[in-house]
Amino acid sequence: MGFFKEFKEFAVKGNVIDLAVGVVIGGAFGKIVTSLVEDIITPAILTPALEAANLQNLSELVIPGTAIKYGNFVSAAISFAIVAFALFVMIKGINKLKKAEEPAPEAPAGPTQEQLLAEIRDLLKKQQ
């Protein structure tokens, strides 16, 4: 029974749940970015280049005489750049919020109990 109890404690820890949510949201975000690149950026920005090469789709870009489809690589590189930029902006915002939440350092407290007791001891020694 100990093994299952340990597994349950591990599985319901906040970090594991946060990771699972991050993976699911990351997958959905990846689909959004892919759609952005393939359905918006490629037609809007790369269409003139594709038309000059007599192509309809970015994936049709190949090195002549080979099976190397560098158009897919270009699409993946654009997707990566967008994801990296989005994560950079999100992390920068989160770090900014964390810095704002940090409490101001507390003023130094008065003497500790040990210091006061030592002072009392020294005063008592002087009186004797």
62 inside domain? yes
114 inside domain? no
Q: What pLDDT score was predicted for residue 82?
A: 81
Residue of 79, 85, 83, 84 lying closest to 39 (CA atoms): 79
Q: What is the pLDDT of residues 60-112, one digit of tens each?
A: 777 888 888 788 888 788 878 887 887 788 888 888 887 766 666 676 677 78
Cα of first residue to Cα of last residue in the chain, in angstroms, is 66
Q: What pLDDT score was predicted for residue 3?
A: 87
Q: What is the pLDDT of residues 8-62, one digit of tens each?
A: 777 777 677 778 888 888 888 888 877 887 788 767 777 777 787 777 777 777 7
Contact 70, 63 (CB under 8 A): yes
Contact 80, 72 (CB under 8 A): no
**Domains: count for the chain:** 1
Q: What pLDDT score was predicted for residue 51?
A: 80
Measured distance CA(68)–CA(70) in Å, rounded? 6
54 inside domain? yes
64 inside domain? yes
Residue of 89, 85, 70, 73 lying closest to 33 (CA atoms): 85
Q: Say which CATH number the domain at 28 has.
A: 1.10.1200
Q: What pLDDT score was predicted for residue 39?
A: 82
97 inside domain? yes
- The dihedrals phi and psi of 101, each to the nearest 5 degrees, come to -80, -15
Expressed as residue numbers, the domain containing 61 is 2-105
118 inside domain? no
Q: Which two tokens stand for residue 12?
A: 């319901």
